[in-house]
Amino acid sequence: MELNVLAIVVAAIVPLFVGAIWYNPKVFGNTWMKASGMTEEKIKSGNIAVIFGVTLVLSFMLAFSVNGMVIHQIAAEQLAFTNPDSEAFKAFMEEFGNVHRSYGHGALHGAIGALFFVLPVLGINALFERKSGKYIFINVAYWVVTLAIMDAILCGWQ
């Protein structure tokens, strides 16, 4: 099983594109700004090159790390790492091959991952930061959509 570098690159760009739409004032941007305490002045004060550059690096890390979560064959390959010629690994790949390698399967894993990992992490932080449920919903829903798209690309692109 080879690492699909092009799929990882494309998936890593997804958070920037989805974020540009999601946090646009015509979508959830104004509501998010109010819920987060963000102001136009704060937005303009940031170094946009650094923000986008670091976001891209973090997005690559995310795309690389969730790759194994959405492609079950990677886990089998990791188990067989010490002996890739093992009969057990060959039998597994012969029987299951590319089962569950689809865009829909990846999207499902992305949405589940967001709900069971991102929601608790962001929710806990937001509770201690005294943020509203609206703030949590906007940010978690962004990650549900973003990870569903990212994981669909990673799992389905063969």
Q: Which residues lie below 8 Å from residue 132, measured CB to CB, with a gap of 6+?
A: 35, 126
What total of structural domains would you count in the chain? Answer: 1
In tens digits, what is the pLDDT along the chain, a chain of 158 residues? 567 899 999 999 999 999 999 999 999 999 999 999 999 999 899 899 999 999 999 999 999 999 888 877 776 776 666 676 778 777 877 887 777 889 999 999 999 999 999 999 999 999 999 999 999 999 999 999 999 999 999 999 98
143/130 Cα distance (integer angstroms): 20
Structural domain range at position 86: 5-156
pTM, full prediction: 0.88
Question: What would you measure as the largest C-alpha separation in the chain, in angstroms?
Answer: 62
